[in-house]
Structure 1
Amino acid sequence: MPIPFFSSNSSHSNLVSASASATASARHNAPYSSYNPHSYSTPAFPSTAHSPLQIILNSDRLICRGVAGNLEPARLSGHVVLTLTEATNIKDITLDLVGKAKIPTGERTNQSSINPTIFSHHWSFLPDAGHKHTIKEGRHVFPFQLDVSASLPASMMLHPPSTVSAAVHPEIYYKLRATAVRSSAFASNWHTSKPVFVIKAFSWESLEYTQSLEVENTWPGKVMYSIMIPHKAYAAGDTIPALMRFTPTAKGVTVLSVGMELTE
């Protein structure tokens, strides 16, 4: 069901798992039967950004929950806001969600990586795209939503980004880009963009969140040890506590240091 356009005069007011990659493309042109580009007027609403165009999301984290091949889709929702201080001629207002992969080639050349598009979706918010619409001053809101398939690969980026190592590490990233196409050939189009993140996680009722994990072993003639963590699964941003016990089995054996490494 298409989401209607509306104008507003309101005042200021996980555990990551692997998944199979997928390529998808879709286009959405929402009809607005009640829309008349000459019939409405709203008070001017000053924009806080350099561009009068903004993308406001309910959440930039798209969390697909479940287990193995039974993951639920995640809903992306929000609205594009166009804030005008005077009447302006606009041909179209569009929004694109694009997912790209960065794949290192392993070669020290000008093209050290390839960047295929793994997902794309397009929204067009004005009827008769390409024709001139006179949009009056004010704050104009264009809602959008999309159920993002869990078959898409999870976001994967370096944190923090490194200009030295970025050329040799793969990445998967998703970005929204909104554009207001101006009618005049002498006027620049308006753009704004915002990243979104696809995350794979266990469902909240998953046993992995309640089951503990303990490993015991012996280093013959040296020490007995056990390592315990309270849960098998953790969400992104969680602290992972670990309880370690060491029992020397020979005289003169002491533990000088303990190191821990998390491997995905």
Structure 2
Amino acid sequence: MPHAESNSEQFGFVTDERGGVTVMRDGHPQSHVDLADPGLLVFEYVAQLALGIDLLPPGPIGVTHIGGAGLTLARYIQHTRPGSPQIVLEPDAALTEEVRRQLPLPRGHRIRIRPVDGASGLAALRDSSADAVVLDAYDGGRVPADLVTDAALGGFARVLKPGGLALLNLADEPNRRHVARVLAGVAAQWRHQVVLATNDVMKGRRFGNYVVIASNSPIDVDEVRRRAIRLAAPTAVRPGGELRKQARPFTVDDAESSPPPSDSGHWRRS
């Protein structure tokens, strides 16, 4: 059984029997890190985000992360694409300090962590400066409302290079109303969208995560499906248009955070 290494009212670290560490925040598992094997991605949604990253051409890439926690995906990118310049926008400076202390970053990394929220951090970044923008930010187990508006998504698009990838980790109930509205906003910025989720989540059997891959360059859906078959968790792949239907994008005036998780402590674990 896992045991707690350290805890505070806001975050803690839980080590499993194999030496992997789960970073907890507000009672929710945020990241799993294995310092000995940065290519080991335990959470299914992180493996799906990594699948999206792997679609980009080989070699170092510039990545902007909105949300950091344990920096699992940033570590994966450094491991698979050494020398990749990465910017992480993570407002929880105390969490970042503790992550750095307990889970040190590898030597030679180019991961820069800025203690700012996503909206403020994005506004300070240059146009067309990233090959990929990753949204993986949660507050109390919910995706913040201000990060899924049409304005926020426009900010992601501004920072992306032509042909770059937007990767979003969303969460929703089986009715998928929240995801549909975010996808409507995504479709307004990028011509091509693919959605990944575990089979049970995609079939509407439970609350869970949906990973969106979007770009203005074509996405080879068949290739995404071939790669998804190799993931540890059975994963379904669907075009974004099948899930957004007739939904309207969120605006600054009517934005909503994602619904609260129905099963704290389990819904984001693989």
Q: Give the TM-score, by structure 1 length.
A: 0.22
Structure whose CA Rg is larger: 1
Indicate the structure whose relative CO is greater, using CA pairs within 8 Å and at least 6 residues apart.
1
Structure number having the greater helix percentage: 2
